[in-house]
Structure 1
C-alpha cells in the first residue's frame, strides 16, 4: 500500500496548490443516463463545473443535456451515436446529414471535441461491417457544415487477438480487415482511436494470475519487461497493446483517447469496493500526472474519461450499476481529486 499513499499524497498536494504540470493532463467523465432517479442537467453539470471538470462524454444525444450545455458552453462534449443508427448512417448520407443538423448544428455554442460512432461493436457482425462507411458519411456531413470534428469509434479490449506482451498487440482475425479500413480513415484524417481500458475486468476474471497491485498502479516493480519498455501498471500495458495493434494495421501516427476506465464500488464481493474504486481512480490520475504518456508513447498526452458520473439503477444488476463517482443525489461514492483541465 505504500506506493498508493505516496502517489495519493503527491497528487493531493498538486491539486490543493493548483500546480500546472509540465505536460497536459486531459481528464473527463463519462456521463451516463441509464437511471430513473438522476438529477437534472443543470444539477449534474453544475457539479462538474464546480469541480472544474469540463470534458464530458455523452453516449447518445440528449436534447435536454445539449440544450443546457448550449446555454452554458464551458464544456467540451464527446458525443456518441446509438449503435442502432450505424446501419442508417452507413447506407444513407441524408440520414447522416440529418443527424448532424439535429444534434450538432442545432447547438452552435457547444464545443464538440469528438463524435463517437457506436460503442463496443461486436466483431464479426453486420454493424461492424457498416462502421467504416458510417464514419465516412458522418465525417462528410460534419465537414459540409464548415466544422471539423474528429469522428471515430470505441472498441473494447476484446477486439484484440493478441495483447501480451504489449508489443505483440494485434487486432483479432475477426476484426483485422475492418480495423485496417478504420485505421486508414483515422490515419488520413489525423483523428484519434477510442478505446475502453479496464484493468478491473482483467483482474476480476483472473485474480490468481493478475497482480492486484499491478492493476492499481500500486507497485514500483517492473512487472512486465517488453524489450526496452517497462510496465509497472496494467493500464499502460493495455493502452500500448492497442497502440501496437494500430501500428500493425497501418496507423503509426494514430493517437488514442481512453473513452472509459474505472473500478466498481460494489457488486463483486471484496474486489468491487469503495476503497478499491477510490484507490484506482486516485492512482490513475496521479500516474497520468507524473507520466505524460505511456511507455510506448511517452510524450503524448493520454486524454482519459472516468467511467462514470453516476451509479445508474437501470443498468444490469451487479458491477454495471456501481461504477459511479456520484450517487444520483450527487453525494460522493468516493472523493476524486479532479485536476483543473
Structure 2
C-alpha cells in the first residue's frame, strides 16, 4: 500500500505532470528537429579522408569544420574517434563502409552488419544528425564488387530492425560505370556494370522514399587526360561546349550528371536522386594541371554551384547536393602525387590556397 500511495496524486498534480510531460516532449521534438535541420537544408559538405600520417586530430578537425563553415561532413570510413568529436556539434554526418569492410558486412551467416551498426552508428543516433550510410566507395569494377549488394541489403535490414528509416543508404560510384557520357542524352551503363548497377539501384529505390545515388565526379581527370578544355572543366567557359538537343552544357560536371540521369532513366529508375559524393581539384602533383590557382577556381565554383541548389540543363528543377573532396591533403593516398593534394587545407591546418565556403546567407 505504501508503494501505491507514493505514486498517487491529486487531479491538480496529475494535470501539472501532464503539462510538464507535454512541454518536455515538445522540447525533445524541437531538439530532434534542430538535429535534423542541417541534413535537411544544407546542400554542401566536405569529405574527410584519412590516408595520411599527419592528419590533424579529430577535435582539431571539428574546430576547422566550424572555422570554415562546413555543416556537413562525409567520413569515407567508420571512425569512432571522429564520431566522438562530432557529438553535439550540429554537423550532419555521412558514414562510409570502407571497401575492405564490405566482405565482413556482407556476411549472411554472422550478424556482422548489426555489429558494425552497433559500433559505428547506434551510439551516436541521438547525438548528431546522421544523413547517409555509404556502402563502399568506387567499389564497382573493383575486387569488392560482389560484396556491395549483400552488404547493402544487410545494412538496410539492420536499420529496419532498429526503426532508423531516416538514415539513407546509398553507394558511391564513379563515372567509370558509364559506357557513354557524350552527349549526355546518350548516357548508358557499361555492359559489364549494368546488371550490378541495376540491382543496386533497385535495392536503393525499394528501400525508402526519396532514394539517392552518390556519384564521384572529377572533371579534373578529363582535363588532365586531354579530353576537355580547362574552362569547361572549371566552370569558367564563356559559351556552351556541348549542344545536346535543347540543352546547352557550360561545364563538365553538369554533362556527367545528366549522363548518369539518362542511364538511370533507361533502366526505369529515373526517380533516384543524384548527390555528388565527391568532387575536387588537386593543387599540386601533376604540373600545369594542378596549380593552386586552378584548384581554387574549380573548388570555389563547385561549392558555389552546390549551395545555389541548381539543377542540371536536362533537369533544372532537381537541385544537386554535393561534397567537396577533401578537407586535408593525404600523403599516403594511392594513385600518385596529385591524389595526395586534393585538400582544401594542408595538414599543418593552413589553406592550400585561398577559398571561402559559400552559404545561403553570404
Give the TM-score normalised by structure 2. 0.83
Structure 2: distance between partners of 1:78 and 1:87? 21
What secondary structure is seen at the aligned counterpart in 2 of 1:113?
Answer: strand
Matches within 5 A, 1:230-249: 230-249=248-267
**Long gaps (5+) in structure 2:** 1-40
Asked if residue 327 in structure 1 is aligned to residue 346 in structure 2, the reply is yes
Deviates more, 1:318-327 or 1:43-52: 43-52
Contact 1:25/1:301 (8 A) holds in 2: no
Structure 2: distance between partners of 1:38 and 1:287? 28
CA offset digits 1:125-157 (Å, max 9, x no partner): 663223222111101102211212111111111
What is the Cα-based RMSD across aligned positions, in Å?
1.6
Structure 1: distance between partners of 2:139 and 2:308? 33
Would the alpha carbon gap of residues 192 and 224 (structure 1) be closer, same or farther in structure 2, given more than 3 Å must change? same
Structure 2 equivalent of residue 77 of structure 1: 93
Structure 2: distance between partners of 1:157 and 1:180? 15
Contact 1:217/1:287 (8 A) holds in 2: no
Contact 2:70/2:357 (8 A) holds in 1: yes
- Give structure 1 regions of 4+ aligned residues with deviation exceeding 6 angstroms: none
The one of 71, 76, 89 equivalent to 1:54 is 71
Structure 1 equivalent of residue 304 of structure 2: 286
**Long gaps (5+) in structure 1:** 1-23
Would the alpha carbon gap of residues 66 and 270 (structure 1) be closer, same or farther in structure 2, given more than 3 Å must change? same
Structure 2 equivalent of residue 45 of structure 1: 62
The one of 215, 223, 228 equivalent to 1:210 is 228
Structure 1: distance between partners of 2:99 and 2:309? 34
Contact 1:176/1:249 (8 A) holds in 2: no
CA offset digits 1:154-195 (Å, max 9, x no partner): 111111111111111111001101111111122222320010
Structure 2 equivalent of residue 8 of structure 1: none
What secondary structure is seen at the aligned counterpart in 1 of 2:66?
Answer: helix
Contact 1:163/1:241 (8 A) holds in 2: yes
The one of 337, 344, 357 equivalent to 1:318 is 337
Q: How many residues align?
A: 314
CA offset digits 1:31-53 (Å, max 9, x no partner): 11112212111111111112221
The one of 86, 90, 94 equivalent to 2:106 is 90
Asked if residue 64 in structure 1 is aligned to residue 81 in structure 2, the reply is yes
Structure 1: distance between partners of 2:328 and 2:261? 30
Structure 1 equivalent of residue 47 of structure 2: 30
Note the C-alpha offset of 1:298.
1.1
Would the alpha carbon gap of residues 322 and 126 (structure 1) be closer, same or farther in structure 2, given more than 3 Å must change? closer
Contact 2:300/2:357 (8 A) holds in 1: no
Note the C-alpha offset of 1:336.
2.1
Structure 2 equivalent of residue 261 of structure 1: 279
Would the alpha carbon gap of residues 77 and 31 (structure 1) be closer, same or farther in structure 2, given more than 3 Å must change? same
Contact 2:216/2:277 (8 A) holds in 1: yes
Note the C-alpha offset of 1:289.
4.7
Structure 2 equivalent of residue 159 of structure 1: 177
Note the C-alpha offset of 1:328.
0.8
Structure 2 equivalent of residue 136 of structure 1: 153
Contact 1:89/1:96 (8 A) holds in 2: yes
Q: Which structure is higher in RCO with an 8 Å CA cutoff and minimum separation 6? A: 1
Note the C-alpha offset of 1:288.
3.6
Note the C-alpha offset of 1:286.
3.2
Matches within 5 A, 1:116-135: 116-123=134-141, 127-135=144-152
Would the alpha carbon gap of residues 35 and 130 (structure 1) be closer, same or farther in structure 2, given more than 3 Å must change? closer
Note the C-alpha offset of 1:120.
0.5
Structure 1: distance between partners of 2:303 and 2:56? 26
- Structure number, greater radius of gyration: 2
Structure 1: distance between partners of 2:352 and 2:91? 23
